[in-house]
Amino acid sequence: MSRYFTEDHEWIDVDGDIGTVGISEYAQSQLGDIVFVDVPEDGKELTKGDEAAVVESVKAASDVYAPASGTVLEGNPALSDTPELVNEDPEGDGWFFKITLSDPSELEELMDESAYATFVSKL
Partner 1 sequence: MSNASSIDHADAYVEVEPGTLPLDAWHRARGGRMVEFAGYWMPVQYEGIMAEHLWVRGNAGLFDVSHMGQLHLSGEGLDAALERLIPADVAGIKPHHQKYSLLLNEEGGILDDLMLTRWDDGLYMVVNGATKYDDMAHLLDGLPDDVTLNHMDEQALLALQGPKAVDALARLVPGVEELVFLTGARFEWQGASLWISRSGYTGEDGFEISVPADHAEALAEALCAQGEVKPIGLGARDSLRLEADLPLYGHDLDPETTPIMAALNFAVASKRRREEANFPGAARILAERENGSALKRVGLVLDGRQPVREGATVMDDRGAAIGRVTSGGFAPSIGKPIAMAYVPAALSAVGTRVELAQRGKVHTGTVTAMPFVPHRYHRGVK
Binding site for partner 1 (CB under 8 A): 8-10, 23, 27, 32-33, 35-36, 38, 54-65, 80, 83
CB of 36 to partner 1, least distance (A): 4
CB 13 within 8 A of CB 93: no
CB of 2 to partner 1, least distance (A): 20
Comparison of 18 and 35: residue with beta carbon closer to partner 1? 35
> What is residue 41's DSSP assignment?
P
Give least dist CB 16 to partner 1, A: 25
Query: Can you say whether the dihedral through the CA atoms of 25, 28, 33, 38 is positive or negative?
Result: negative
Question: Smaller CB distance to partner 1: residue 17 or 61?
Answer: 61
Q: CB 55 → partner 1: shortest distance, Å?
A: 7
How many helices (H) and strands (E) the chain has is answered by 3, 9
Given the complex with partner 1, which of 16 and 122 has the nearer CB atom?
Answer: 122
* CA–CA separation, 107 and 99 (whole Å): 13
Rounded distance between C-alpha atoms, residue 41 and residue 35, angstroms: 19
Is 16 or 121 the residue whose CB approaches partner 1 more closely?
121
**Closest of 103, 100, 80, 97 to residue 11, by C-alpha:** 97
